[in-house]
Chain A
Amino acid sequence: MKDFHGQALSWDIANGVIELGLHRDPCNEIGTLALDELEKFCRALEHLQHHAHALIVYSELKCGFCAGADLRELYERSSSMEKTAAAQGVRDFLERIHRVMNVIDAAPLTTIAAVHGVVFGGGFELALVCDLIIADKMARFCFPELRLGLIPGFGGIPRLKRDLGNAVVRDLLLTGRSFNAAKAQQIGLVSQLVGEGEALRVARGTAEQLGKFDRRTAIAAKEFIKPLPYEELKREIDIFCDLFSHPAVQAGLKKFVESTEAQPYLP
């Protein structure tokens, strides 16, 4: 499928560059709908990757790149199910999203996340699967999961650990604080920091440059430098599922979903 326009995302390909745009209100939360369409994209990628040298992932929404997992859906589904079934549902979802993330992470083309605004939780994890992150200076990154009694579940910790020093990972994970794009560049997460509204344009320019290189060489370089931490990714799912079974998590989700506070995004 060369192009697609779904309810959560769209993609097309031109001049060897695939563009995957996220556009699910309110801020590209990843629930079952987005996951279904991401899986559809991964199936299409098997064909598209033979005609492309780069993939750009970006958001079409003003609020930002992605606010993470759809916590409302997670809460509503899990609270309406029996405990064992809810736990199995969470594990199934995580295994599916991990397969998607792993496909994009290891895709034989250079991947670029062009981010702006909110890059939180699962959205941060989606950016982390990409080879390069190009960030609008107003982008803000965060792993807020500990606020809910959880850890990031879409592969964030192993990937962050792969890419950055462990002390930095501990800071971001254990404080749950958000940080701006300049800080993200300073710690080595963001490769290019650009002006407001410029991330996609700069990503397109970068993708054009990548097309000048021999493709086999680029694939070999990526395979060499970017191994997938499979064991840690599997372990992350186990830890997440164990934590999810604790009653405090349901209480935390309920509080977040039902919150009318002005600051639900602040820890």
Chain B
Amino acid sequence: MMRTQEQTIDEILDLAARHFKVPRHKIGPDDDFFKTLKIDSLQALDLLTRLEQYFQIELPDYELQGVSDFRTLAGRIQARL
């Protein structure tokens, strides 16, 4: 069954919170993931790889140009599911 965008957002938030050891309740869909996860661009690539593995997709990094919130990120992923 196709995931809804809200499910995709939740799964991204769960994965990000778990991997970067941030309390899940402290991050939300519209948060800037660079700021809330306290990550740099190299760690963002690490997150991208984990998301590709989790959702079993390929997401070219140029699609993340200018993207910094979880909701938009989820939209990019949703388009490839």
Contacts and interface: CB of A to CB of B under 8 A. Distances in A.
Contact of B45 (A140, A176, A183): A140
A177 interface: yes
Q: DSSP majority for the A interface? A: loop
Nearest to A267: B62
Contacts of B45: 118, 140, 178, 265-266
Contact of B42 (A175, A180, A265): A265
Interface stretch (B1-9, B23-31, B53-61, B69-77): B53-61
A56 to B, nearest CB: 23
Contacts of B62: 175-177, 266-267
A138 interface: yes
Nearest to B46: A138
A220 interface: no
B68 A137 contact: no
A123 to B, nearest CB: 13
A227 interface: no
- Interface centre among A137, A180, A183, by most chain B C-beta atoms within 10 angstroms, is A180
B60 A263 contact: no
Contact of A267 (B53, B65, B68): B65
A34 interface: no
B65 A262 contact: no
Interface string A238-267: 000000000000000000000001111111
Interface in B5-53: 34, 40-42, 44-46, 48-50, 52-53
A93 B34 CA distance: 36
B73 to A, nearest CB: 12
Contacts of A262: 34, 40-41, 44, 68
Given A138-B49, A175-B60, A266 B42 contact: no
A219 interface: no
Nearest to A263: B41
Size category of the binding interface on chain A: 20 to 34
B39 to A, nearest CB: 8
B81 interface: no
A140 B44 CA distance: 12
A178 B64 CA distance: 12
Nearest to B58: A183
B41 A266 contact: yes
A119 to B, nearest CB: 11
Nearest to A177: B60
B53 A180 contact: yes
A117 B48 CA distance: 12
A179 B65 contact: no
B47 to A, nearest CB: 11
Nearest to A183: B58
List the 9 shortest-distance A-B pairs measured between CB atoms, nearest first: A265-B41, A177-B60, A267-B62, A262-B34, A180-B49, A263-B41, A178-B61, A266-B61, A140-B45
Interface of A: 27, 63-64, 117-118, 137-138, 140, 142, 175-183, 261-267
Interface of B: 34, 40-42, 44-46, 48-50, 52-53, 58, 60-62, 64-65, 68
7 contacts: A137-B49, A177-B61, A177-B62, A181-B49, A263-B44, A264-B41, A265-B41
